[in-house]
Structure formats: C-alpha cells, structure tokens
A and B are shown apart, each in its own frame.
Chain A
Amino acid sequence: MSLPSDALTNPVPARPTANPGNPPAEFLPPFNTLPDADGHVHGHGDGGSHGHDSLRTLDYAVIQQCMHCGFCLPTCPTYDATKKERNSPRGRIALMRAIADGQMDATKTFAEEMYFCLGCLACTTACPAGVDYAQLFETARATAEHAGVLQSPSRDWTRRLLLKGLFTRPRLLRALGRMLRIYQASGAQWLVRKLGLTKLLGSRLAKLEPQTPQVRAQFSHQLIQPVEKPADDQVKYRVGLLTGCVQDLVFSDINRDTADALLANGCEVHTPPVQACCGSLHGHNGEPGTARMLARRLLDTFDVFKLDAIITNAAGCGSHLKTYNRLLADDKQYAERAAEWSRKCKDINEFLVEIHFRAPTAAPAGIPVDQLTYHEACHLCHGQKITAQPRKILKSIPGLKLTELSESTWCCGSAGIYNIVQPEMSQQLLERKLKHIDKTGARTVATANPGCHLQIANGAAARGKALHIAHPVSLLAAAYRAE
C-alpha cells in the first residue's frame, strides 16, 4: 500500500453535523443547554429513541436468555457480600424482567440496585446460558436514568459535569488536567487540604479529592507523534492507537509504552493528537445517546478500513469499544464502519500475542519484576475474555517471576466510577484484593486497566505499603528498552 500515512486518521475529530455551532470546548455553557448525543438540546433526553435504550422495548429474547439457574451467584461480589438475591445477577435480571413485563416500574430502589452492581461482568464468565449481561445492565441503567428516579440537584449537576461536560470534551479535560497538575505540583494541594478547604467541595467530591491521581506533566500527544514508524521502517501492520481519557491524563507514559511495544513489533502507529472519549463511562452509566455520539466521533477520527487494528490499552474502554457494532447497529450511516471497528478493535495484550510479539532479551531496569503478581481487570478477563495473553507477555520478560494471585479475577472495587459512588462496597473489595496481594509477597502488581491501577495504588499507599503497579505492556516496553 502506498497511502500517505497521515491519511489514516483525521487530525481533528469531526463534530456532529447537527451541531454546527458547538462552542470551543474550553467555554462551558450552562449544563441544561448542553447539546446531547445527537445534537439536540433538551432536559434529560438522550436523543433518538433506540429500541435497546429501554427494558420495555429491548428485544425480549435478551432477557429470556436467563433461565435462573443461579450458576452466576457465587461469582458475584455484591451477592457474596450480602447473600441477598436482589444483589445478584439473577436477581437483577429478574427485576429487569419484571419491568419488561410491565409488572414493575423502574423505581428508585431498582435504580439504586443497578448502581450497586459493579458492572464487573463476572456473571457473564460464569453464565453457561450465554446471557448478555453487559447489554442488560446498560439498558437497565439507561431505563433508570430515563425514569429520573434518582434525580437530585447535586447528582444531576455532577453527572452532567462529568458525563456531558468533561468526558465529552478532550481539550477541556486536558485543560483541567493541566490545572490539577499545577495544583498538585505547586504544593497548593497540601495547603488546601491543611486548611480544610476541601470541605467546600461538598462531601462526595471532598471524599474524591484524596483519590485524585497525580496528573502527568505531559499528555499523550506531547509524548507520541501522530504517526510513528518502526526503527527499521519494516512496516508489517498499520494500527491506530487509542489514548483514552484517564490514561491520557494520568498514565500518558503507558500510552508511550504501548506505542513503543507496537513499534518494536513492526507496527506503524497512528495516534491522532485529539481523541474523543470512547463513551464507556456513558454507556455504563445510563447515557446511551452520548455514548453513541462519542462512538461516532471516534469512528470519524480513525479510518478503520485502512488500518489493521485499533489498539486500546485500557480494559474498561476495550470492553466497550468492541461493542460499537451493537451500539450503532441502527445507525445507517455508521453501522458498517462500527462493525468493522468491532472486528478490528484489539486490546494491546491480545494484539501482541496475535502477531507473535518478539520476546525481549533483557530484564527491565529498576522495576522489581522478580516478585510480581497479576491482577486481572474485570473488563479484560470477563468483559473481553482475555486471560492467557497478558500472562504470556509477562512470562516472556527475562527475570520476571509471576506468582499467581488467588481470586485474580475478583473485582478490586474500582469499577469505573464505582469507588466514588459506592465507597463502602468498593473499600471492602479493595481490602480483599490487597490481602491476596499481600499473600503473594509481590512487590509489583501488573494490571491492564487505569481504574484498577489507581485503586490498588491508592489502597496500598493509604496502608503505607510500598507496591509498584505496572501495565504489562510497560514492563514489556521497559524490557525492550533495556536491550
């Protein structure tokens, strides 16, 4: 192929045409006038009525798939904690079914239950009947949001701020990240905490404040060129690299490592400098309309037909990115591209193993890999059924000794924004995870999702434990660099 390389991605993400007057992202209009997914401005709607946005209109077969055998019960962290059927996958599906059958309304209790669910998808791994819990759970949360039963001024404000205000605007997110960085680096954070000013934030956000991760000095676009070629110019694959939101702000170095590992394996890496959020946060939190809008934007950013693969290194994003085909199935303009996207979207671990990555010949410098354990991100092992690949990568690294973690596939309590909205359950799960990590005697924990990464790092720090957390691909890249 003799295409100019930069033709494979769009430098600037296309805006939805229905919304030509979109103001520069840096200027935030009042929330109630924020355009929604499909460019419409209205109160709470999520634009366009898609059959799968409500339990009442969802294909009934998806609900019927559950034959209530209960095989998922022992794998569900919330059921394990309470032994209450309503807190189990089977119980939650029964509630969804009661709504679909018109026997129950989407009540406040129902909505709360849907937010008590971690969305960890352990139930889908356990389920022999092939229940698509991810779809059910997204539809259930959308139904709950549509019913408006959880509405409260502060919740609405926070949700619109996060879901519609921030996580739809990559530039704004970076601007905010930069401010946060200054705040953290200048020592102002210390001063603010000391003066108790965080109280002004309101209790939810104040609790969140100590969890605020350290923002990196440089974001992905400052570390990665839009197009990078392997050193020897021998291009075997052309791939797109997704930089993510949290990953971009807090773990831009993991993005650099990902690019390096790909380059070392003959990939030409295309990384558009400005990328939309993938929409997983929205899809998982009852905003399917916004999720669809963001999906379209990402599809506009990459020319998926000309790339061999689209690479993500964040498990939570990957598990959502791979469902673009379902998300946009009814969209005449995008359905075909979305289907191709779902076929080509690959987690970095998955892709490297698929292309028979080269085993490094040196041990990574400065990282204690001789005592390492692996925590499986839910959305990697349950969401994408990727379990062998990260281990294969880890085991290929010279000097690395992997001790298996018991309950490695049990949720660590991060679960997207779960640790913010359900702090109690989240802490319980974190405690359990750290105990198991302790037992392995590991000094380094490898994991492939920014949420888990932060959760475990914060947990260890709060308990005064010295733990090194690393993405498998970072260890691989470090090993290549040491050669």
Chain B
Amino acid sequence: MSQAAAATDLIAALQRHFPADALITKPEDMTAYSYDGTPMLKGMPSAVVFPTTTEEVATVLRLATESGTSVSTRGSGTGLSAGSIPNAGDIVLCLARMNQILELDTANLTILVEPGVINANVAAAVEAEGLFYPPDPGSMRVSTIGGNVAENSGGLRGLKYGITRDYVMGLEVVLPTGETFFTGTKCVKDVAGYSLKDLFVGSEGTLGVVTKILLKLLPKPAARKTLLAIYEKMDEAAATVSAIIANKIIPCTAEFMDRTTIKCVEDYAHIGLPLDCDAVLILESDGHPAAVDDEAQKMEALCKQHGARSVKLAADLEEATKLMTARRMAIPAMARVAPTTILEDATVPRSRLAEMVRFVQKTAEKYNIQVGTFGHFGDGNLHPLFLANELKPDEIHRVHEAVGEIFDHAVKIGGTISGEHGIGLTKKAYLPGAIGELNVRVLKELKRVFDPKGILNPGKIFEADQPGMEGTATFTHTITRGITPEHLIPQT
C-alpha cells in the first residue's frame, strides 16, 4: 500500500477514536503544522491529532504501526533542527493539550508533569513553593517540557546547574506498538537495569513518545546577583570567562553577545544596552547571600583585569530579570536585520572558546556573510547566527559552506556540532563526521529495537533505512519561493 493510501486508512481509523476537534485534516491546518522554528523548511502532514491521555497516544501509535504510517511528535514547534517538521504525509501527534501538572512533591523535591506543559509554567509553579527548576532555554515561555526532554535542551544556567538531562528522574514512554512503561523512580539512587530514561532524553521523537515526566527540583537559591560587563574586544570577554572558571568560580550564567546581537536586542527590549562596544558578558551568581556577594566581587575584579570597559551590577531583581529576558530574545530579535536567520550551535571545550569565536568570524568573512554571535560562553556553546535572505540561493549556499567549515573545526578541537538544538534534519549530514560511522550504526540499531518499523520521525538524526520509510524524509516544498530542499539540507 502506498504511504498516502495508508495515511488515509489510518485517518479513517482514528476518526473512530477522536472527535473532530482533536483530529484535523484541512489543508489550512496542515499548512500551520508544516514548520517549526527552523528556517526555510516545510513539510505538509496529512493529519494532526491532539491526544489528551496516555491511552490516546497509545491508540495513535498502535494504529500507525499497523498501517505503516509515520508519525511526527510535536510540542510547541520551537525546535531549531526541524525535529517536529513532519515528512510529507506524516501524522502529527501534537501534545499541546496534554498540559497538566500532575503532582508537586515537596517532600521528595520532584514534580510530575504531562509533556505539553510549558517550561515557564513549571518554573512558576515550583517557585511558588520556594523551589527551583533550573533548565531555562531561551524558548522557556513557549517550549514544552516534552520538547525539552526530547531535545535535551540547555539554557542560560547550564554552567552551574546542567541541562534537562540532569533533572529527568523518570519518564512514561509509549512505544510504537502502543505498549507503555515508566522508566525511573523518585529515588536519588536507582540502578535497576539500564538507565533507559537517559536513552529517551535527547532522542528527538525517534524512539518513543514521552507522556509523563518526573523532574528533579532544587531549593530556590536565596540570593542572586547579576553583572553586565562591557568590552571593546570580544577576545577579552572570552578570556574573562576562562579566567573566572580557572579561579574556581562557577557562575550560574555566563552569557555573551556581540555587537550585532546587542543592537538587535536593544532595538526590541530598550533596556539601555551599550551600542558602542564589541561585546558584553552577562554574569550571574546565585546561592547563599554571602557566597553570592563574594563571587560577584571576584567576578567584577576579573572582568576589569581582563579589559572590561565597565562592569555594572543590576540594581535589583527586576533589572536582572529584564537583562536575562532580553538575552532570551536574541534569536528572534536578530530577524530584525535579516529575513532569514540561520542559527548554529557548535560547542567546544571552554578552553578553546576564544579561538572558536575568532574562527567563526574569519569564516564568515571568507564567505562574505554577515554573522552575529552570542551564546552560552560558560558552556563553550556558541550560537553564530548567519544573517541572510532565503530569496538568494547563492547566499544560502555560502552559509552552508561556512557552517560545514565551522563544524569541521569544532570537531577538530574536541567539540561537537550541536550543544543543545539537536541533529534533526538540518545536521544529519554532519553527524557521521562528528561522531563516526560506528557510532551512527549503533544509534540506528538502537532505534530498530524500539521502533522496528521505523514509524517515529523517520529520517531525523540519520537516514531512515527501514523498508517503506526510506523515501519519507522528503519535503513537499520549502517555505520560500525558488528554493529547493537540496539547497537547504546538505545531502549525505
């Protein structure tokens, strides 16, 4: 049976289980589920289904497996590697309506949530109890916990507090067969069997669908201090971060923005960022008040020693929050200066940071493209953002050439091609080069264990090779006029 015919049968079967409001197929609706946060790519699904219970998710997957139709799981669609862009004809499984907080356990410091809960809502709910959920991706007000888990998202506090993986204590997972299990417990220690939950963290919707998430919480830090350091030279900012860490201080945040980024962010947020400097660092220390005071003082001194033109301490919590919020807006704010913003996510060991920043700039110059760089300096996680116009295929091509060189260099100096945005479709061509063929083979074999028919997000992370699924990772069309998918997804 052809993919299209299988999808039609599946939709008919799903109609017996879902009301019209929870299963939509109009072309206008499909258009609205044909993209995520990734530039230029688009794939039209054949239906979108909105389950509200684990059982409903199981029904969808069981029927999809039976009919051999592929399924793309979606949270809020803010992914930056095309993870939730469906292949043409896919069924989109949208979890946005599974958005209940199920249990906040203040004795064990855990929270159990459904996957469609928005990250910021978790943060607010636990803060009301004096608790703290540290992972705070830039998209925290929009992205879902399910998406965060599936991408193993980082955030602005990674340096001290780690990333999503470090807070996942347990997961409820539905397998493509419709079978459901829970992996993990509320116990701090748990070595009963392989740590399966860790396999699902960062699996980009290719192994199973996460339907409940048990997260670890911390007590809310008593104090917090935020510094803004201003530099004439980007190198000096990088050197400062290295010096801070070498001095055995682990700030909770060490964010960096270059001149282009600062201008765009200020344009939107109007918080008085300096427009005449080359770079700024946002440094934050949190914890016991005395320790925070001490760290903030030391960091200030180190900033100055390493050439900061000035260092400003945020007057109060409100000012500090504004600064962080503004930084979170960097990605979309950059869209003010160019219609197409192509964001990369290369990450290197902290000690190689300054070198990597220089390499990015040199490469952008070589290919004659505009770039703005910002990112999580403390994590060695750079976000060079190329400012281009998708209407110019030649420019897009040059961006891809530059990205290829940057990835090669990152890997060469001990880094990786993605720190937090995932591989999805956009980076899968680079994966073998980064982790090696054997590594990719093991990934594929693991996928076959969980998803033998290959119905879950086929073609994401690596090429699908299950019979019937190979051809699905193609796009009906791209978002823009005149550009073909070949321009956009580097071919393996």
Q: Closest approach, in angstroms, between the C-beta of B477 and any C-beta of chain A?
A: 7
CA distance A91 to B48 in the complex (A): 14
Q: Which B-chain residue is minimally distant from A108 (CB atoms)?
A: B28
CA distance A303 to B105 in the complex (A): 67
Chain A 142-180, CB-CB to B under 8 Å as 1, else 0, gives 000000000000000000000000000000000000000
Q: Are B32 and A129 in touch, CB under 8 angstroms?
A: no
The answer to whether A94 touches B34, judged by C-beta atoms less than 8 angstroms apart, is yes
Q: Is the CB of B335 within 8 A of A113?
A: no
Q: Which of A100-159 contact B (CB under 8 A)?
A: 101, 103-104, 107, 109-110, 113, 127-130
Contact B141 A129 (CB under 8 A): no
Chain B: minimal CB distance from A64 (Å): 4
Q: Is A392 an interface residue (CB 8 A)?
A: no
Instruction: Please give 20 more A-B residue pairs, beta carbons under 8 A apart, in addition to A86-B28, A95-B31, A128-B331.
Output: A67-B37, A67-B331, A68-B35, A68-B77, A69-B139, A69-B142, A70-B76, A70-B78, A70-B143, A71-B142, A71-B329, A74-B118, A83-B96, A84-B29, A94-B32, A107-B27, A128-B269, A129-B336, A130-B268, A130-B335
- Within B19-74, the residues touching A (CB, 8 Å) are 24, 26-29, 31-37, 39, 50
Decide: A129 near B96, CB < 8 A? Known: A94-B32, A104-B31.
no
B339 at the interface (CB under 8 A from A): yes
Of listed A61, A70, A86, residue having the most chain B CB within 10 A? A70
Q: Which 8 A-B pairs have the closest CB atoms?
A: A91-B32, A129-B335, A64-B339, A128-B332, A85-B32, A128-B329, A86-B32, A67-B335
Given contacts A83-B97, A128-B333, A70 and B28 within 8 Å (CB-CB): no
Q: For A109, what are the chain B residues with a Cβ–Cβ distance below 8 Å?
A: 26, 28
A86 contacts across to B, CB distance below 8 A: 28-29, 31-32
**B3 within 8 A of partner (CB):** no
Q: Is the CB of B142 within 8 A of A61?
A: no
The 8 A CB mask of B137-148 against A (1 = contact, 0 = none) is 001011100000
Residues of B within 8 A of A69 (CB): 37, 78, 139, 142, 331-332, 335
From A65, A101, A129, contact of B480 by CB (8 A): A101
| Minimal Cβ-Cβ distance residue in A for B95 | A83
Separation of A109 and B35 alpha carbons in the complex (Å): 19
Near A by CB (< 8 A), chain B positions 242-301 give 267-269
A469 at interface, CB cutoff 8 A: no
Contacts of B481 in A (CB 8 A): 101
Contact call A70/B139, Cβ cutoff below 8 A: yes
Given contacts A91-B32, A95-B31, A113-B28, contact A83 B50 (CB under 8 A): yes
> With A70-B77, A128-B268 given, is the CB distance from A107 to B39 under 8 Å?
no
Nearest-Cβ distance from residue B408 to partner chain A, whole angstroms: 27
Complex CA–CA separation, A65 to B341 (angstroms): 10
B109 on interface, CB distance cutoff 8 Å: no
A-B contact pairs, 19 of them (CB 8 A): A61-B339, A64-B340, A69-B142, A69-B332, A70-B78, A73-B76, A83-B96, A83-B97, A83-B99, A84-B29, A91-B32, A94-B31, A95-B28, A97-B479, A101-B479, A104-B27, A110-B28, A129-B333, A129-B336
Q: Are A70 and B96 in contact (CB under 8 A)?
A: no
Specify which chain B residues have a CB less than 8 angstroms from the CB of A94 in the assembled complex: 31-32, 34-35
What residue in chain A is nearest B390 (Cβ atoms)? A64
Tell yes or no: A98 within 8 A of B by CB: yes
- Asked whether, in the complex, the Cβ of A67 is within 8 Å of the Cβ of B77, the reply is no
What are the residues of chain B within 8 A of A113 when measuring CB–CB?
A: 28
Chain A residues with CB below 8 A from B33, complex form: 85
Residues of B within 8 A of A (CB): 24, 26-29, 31-37, 39, 50, 76-78, 94, 96-97, 99, 118, 139, 141-143, 267-269, 329, 331-333, 335-336, 339-341, 389-391, 477, 479-481
In the complex, how many angstroms separate the beta carbon of A181 from the nearest chain B beta carbon?
Answer: 44
Given the complex, which residues of B lie within 8 Å of A70, measured CB to CB? 37, 76-78, 139, 142-143
| Chain B residues in 8 Å Cβ range of A65 | 335, 339
Establish whether residues A68 and B36, one from each chain, have CB atoms under 8 Å apart when the complex forms: yes
Could you say which residues of chain A place their CB within 8 Å of the CB of B391? 60, 64
Contacts of B479 in A (CB 8 A): 97, 101
Complex formed: what's the CA distance from A34 to B380 in Å?
Answer: 67
Smallest Cβ distance from A116 to chain B, in angstroms?
11
Q: Which residue of A lies closest to B478 (CB)?
A: A101
The residues of A with any CB-CB pair to B shorter than 8 Å are 60-61, 64-71, 73-74, 83-86, 88, 90-91, 94-95, 97-98, 101, 103-104, 107, 109-110, 113, 127-130
Q: Which residue of B lies closest to A130 (CB)?
A: B336
Query: Which A residues are CB-close (under 8 A) to B333?
Result: 128-129
In the complex, what's the smallest C-beta–C-beta distance from B333 to chain A, in angstroms?
4
Q: Are A104 and B28 in contact (CB under 8 A)?
A: yes
Q: Please give, as numbers and ranges, the residues of chain B lying within 8 Å of A60 by CB-CB distance.
A: 391
Considering the complex, give the chain B residue whose CB is closest to the CB of A104. Answer: B31
**Residues of chain B within 8 A of A84, CB atoms compared:** 24, 29, 32
Whether B336 pairs with A68 at a CB distance below 8 angstroms is no
The CA of A162 and the CA of B333, in the complex, are separated in Å by 40
* A109 vs B28: C-alpha distance when bound (angstroms): 7
A61→B268 CA distance, assembly (Å): 18
A253 to B457, CA, bound (A): 62
Q: Which residues of B contact A110 (CB under 8 A)?
A: 28
A66 to B141, CA, bound (A): 18
From B80, which residue of chain A is reached at the shortest CB distance? A69
- Are A71 and B141 in contact (CB-based, < 8 A)? yes
Complex formed: what's the CA distance from A88 to B29 in Å? 11
Given the known interface contacts A128-B329, A129-B332, A130-B336, the answer about A67 and B96 at a Cβ–Cβ threshold of 8 Å is: no
On chain A, the residues within 8 Å of B37 by CB distance are: 67-70
Q: Which residues of B contact A85 (CB under 8 A)?
A: 29, 32-33, 77
Q: Provide the residues of chain A in CB contact with B335, threshold 8 Å.
A: 65-67, 69, 128-130
Interface centre among A65, A66, A84 (most CB of B within 10 A): A84
Given contacts A86-B32, A94-B34, A110-B28, contact A67 B480 (CB under 8 A): no
- Check if A74 sits within 8 Å of B141, measured CB to CB: yes
Q: Taking A85-B77, A104-B27 as contacts, is the C-beta distance between A67 and B32 under 8 angstroms?
A: no
Contacts of B139 on A, CB cut-off 8 Å?
69-71
A335 to B27, CA, bound (A): 40
- Across the interface, which residues of A come within 8 angstroms of B28, CB to CB? 86, 95, 104, 107, 109-110, 113
* B31 partner residues in chain A, CB cutoff 8 A: 86, 91, 94-95, 98, 103-104
- Whole-angstrom CA separation of A97 from B32 in the bound complex: 11
What chain A residues lie within 8 Å of B480 (beta carbons)? 101
Q: Which residue of B lies closest to A88 (CB)?
A: B32
Residues of A within 8 A of B77 (CB): 68, 70, 85
What residues on A are CB-neighbors of B29 within 8 Å? 84-86
Check A71–B32 contact: CB distance below 8 A.
no
* A71, A73, A94: most-surrounded residue (chain B CB, <10 A): A71
Residues of A within 8 A of B76 (CB): 70, 73
What is the CB-to-nearest-CB distance from B115 to chain A, in angstroms, rounded to a whole number? 13
What residues of chain B lie closer than 8 Å to A61, measured between beta carbons?
339
Partner of B341, one of A67, A83, A97, A107: A67
- Chain B residues with CB under 8 A of A98: 31
Chain B positions within 8 Å of A68 at CB level: 35-37, 77
Nearest CB in chain A: distance from B373 CB, A: 17
B343 to chain A, nearest CB (A): 10
Q: Determine the distance from Cα of A86 to Cα of B78 in the docked complex, in whole angstroms.
A: 15
Cα A449 to Cα B269 with chains together (Å): 27
> CB-nearest residue of chain B relative to A127?
B332
Closest B residue to A102 using CB positions:
B481
- Bound-complex Cα distance A91 to B97 (A): 17
Is A67 in contact with B118, judged by CB distance below 8 angstroms? Answer: no
Q: How far is the CA of A84 from the CA of B390 in the complex (A)?
A: 27
Min distance, Cβ B27 to any Cβ of chain A, angstroms: 7
Q: How far is the CA of A91 from the CA of B36 in the complex (A)?
A: 10
Q: Are B332 and A67 in contact (CB under 8 A)?
A: yes
Nearest CB in chain B: distance from A82 CB, A: 8
Cα distance, A110 to B26, chains bound together (Å): 11
With CB as the reference atom, state the residue of chain A lying closest to B143: A70
CA distance A170 to B203 in the complex (A): 63
Shortest CB distance A143–B (Å): 14
